[in-house]
Amino acid sequence: MAETHHLQKRGNAWHYYRRVPTALVPVVGKAFVKKSLGTSDLKKAKILRNALNVQIDAEFAAVEVQGTDTPPAPMSLAVLTEHLRQHIKGLDQRSAASLAADPPETELERVERLKDVGIDLHVLKDRDDPDGDRWVASVFDKVLVQAGGSLSQKEALTGFAEIVRRGLMELQHRRLDRLRDDFSARPHDPLFDTQNAPPVTFGELCNVYWTVKSAELAANQTNEKRGDRIEGEIALIKEALGAETGLVSITYDRVQAFRVLIAKVPANRNKVFPGLTLQQQIDRAAKAGKPVLSIKSQGLYLRCLFDILEAGRVRNLIPNNPATGLKPLQKDKETEAEKRMPWDANQVKGFFEGKFYHRCASDLPSPYTLKDKGWRFWLPLLMLFSGARPNELAQLHCDDIRQTEAGTWYFSLSDENGKTLKTGSSRRRVPLHSELVKIGFLEFVEARRKRNGPKEPRIFAELKPDKYGSLAAYASKRLRDTFIPEEITLQERQTFYSLRHNVRDALRRVKAPADTLLAVCGWTPAGKSVSDDYGDVGNPDLHREYVDAIAYPGLDLTFLHGVGGKL
């Protein structure tokens, strides 16, 4: 390396100046890396230059491997050091195996090998030797890429480069010991003593996991609400196990203790007991007889703990994952179908033939005229005859109401034009029940199209998204807390969302095939095979007769016919 390679002197100060590889310019966002080193002393400038070389090389390598538009997240020195320990361990094992397979045949050959190792050791000890710098930089890059991180602070960067040098020197000392037939010596550098606990803390591993997970969620445009949930799970786990706890202390027994603890955590703990520690919340909840987390929620926390520790295992920070196979203490006695129950026939009749709907159909001097009338009238009806989710309906565009060449009216549920869906199978085309047509949904949509104009495509434009982007959040809350209780009383495990289960049962009553359950409601039937997806199984014409057969005993909505189009 030339003495002033990547260095330029401007005035009295040295500057770092380096070209970005052409292929990486679009990702890095610039053609050159330029930085003032803040010194007029060439010797100091070279030291800073070497440190920057290591940093820039690592960042370029990480960008090439990850293929991402964002630089890798900073990683703690402790985590990188443990990666280096594992890397040196692997190199040492290969060196020992190589010597065992090809030992020196004569004393002269042994002496020559000792001299070669001694030269390597001298190169590493001489901090001005460019060969040593290149050797350190090469191992630095490999470890950094394997860890999936980067270092941006100059102090930490320089510190890790020195640790890499120490690791390579330890490797040479061990080679010398084996050539001298000395197999009793402990590691020369205590940092690389395998009997010493690795310096990584559980909190640091949590941070590494969240950095990767949050990037994954962002890349897949996952609902922000899910990201907040996972971040909250990590925070609880970190508090329970201790952020400063050494990673090697997270043993099977420690994990089992967490399994017991999570079964005692109160539901909505931060709302019910704000500002308290986790243990205080558990103690207060026990005294007050507050409900604990559901078994499903406990399972989510245990799964998160497994994922965190698995991130440590694949990075060789721990030898195995003690949370493998971890499940909640208590088995869930309810099936998924039993966790939310459909409304009974009297509840369906009581709500949809209740005061609100009669008031909308009435010619009395004081009809219902509040601004929420549109969504309050149509969302429950649409759910009752389609099985769609509240947010799927709340985000419908006027152009989503379409007709097939055979004349079947349907609404298209997709994740296009800024809309979101729960799963991939949620993309579907749902036939419009004839009762909805009679009540006036098509006329209502056309009236909304004209009223809203081209700048507002949504049918229910009055609904505004919550902080997570859900357009149905406010409507669902109002229905749950006010509008439904004004008409009927729901039992435990019954909600507004339960109407989706009423549709499932109604389709079963008419013996709708599995294809219809999938095409209309998005429920994937058990035992579904690849061939089931061949052809256009979601064609609304194929499922129209089953959707039109959806009916509820005793429910008569003829008094609403024509009403919905006039709202």
Whether the per-residue pLDDT at 263 is higher than 50: the answer is: yes
Whether the per-residue pLDDT at 564 is higher than 70: the answer is: yes
Segment 281-309 shows an average pLDDT of 94
How far is Cα 307 from Cα 324, in angstroms, rounded to an integer? 9
Closest by CA to 376, choosing from 392, 397, 390, is 390
For residue 47, give the H/E element and its range: helix 42-66
Residue 469 near residue 457, CB atoms below 8 Å = no
Judged by average pLDDT, the poorest of 261-270, 330-339, 402-411 is 330-339
DSSP states along 357-420: HHHHT--SSS----TTHHHHHHHHHHHHHH---HHHHHT-BGGGEEE-TT--EEEEE-S-TT--
For residue 280, give the H/E element and its range: helix 278-288
- At 68 the pLDDT is 45
pLDDT tens digit string along 378-396? 999 999 999 999 999 999 9
Burial group, residue 337, by CB count within 10 angstroms (0-12, 13-18, 19+): exposed
Q: Retrieve residue 38's tokens.
A: 């803040």
Whether the per-residue pLDDT at 423 is higher than 70: the answer is: no
Cα end-to-end span (Å), the chain: 79
| Distance set, CA 483 to CA 248, 381, 488 (Å) | 54, 14, 9
How far is Cα 261 from Cα 279, in angstroms, rounded to an integer? 9
pLDDT tens digit string along 304-319? 999 999 988 887 788 8
pLDDT tens digit string along 493-531? 899 999 999 999 999 999 999 888 888 887 655 444 433
Q: Retrieve residue 74's tokens.
A: 């900073």
What mean pLDDT is reported for the chain? 84
Give 566's DSSP letter. G
Delineate the domains of the chain, giving CATH numbers in brackets.
44-189 (no CATH), 202-333 (1.10.150), 345-566 (1.10.443)
Residue 553 near residue 345, CB atoms below 8 Å = yes
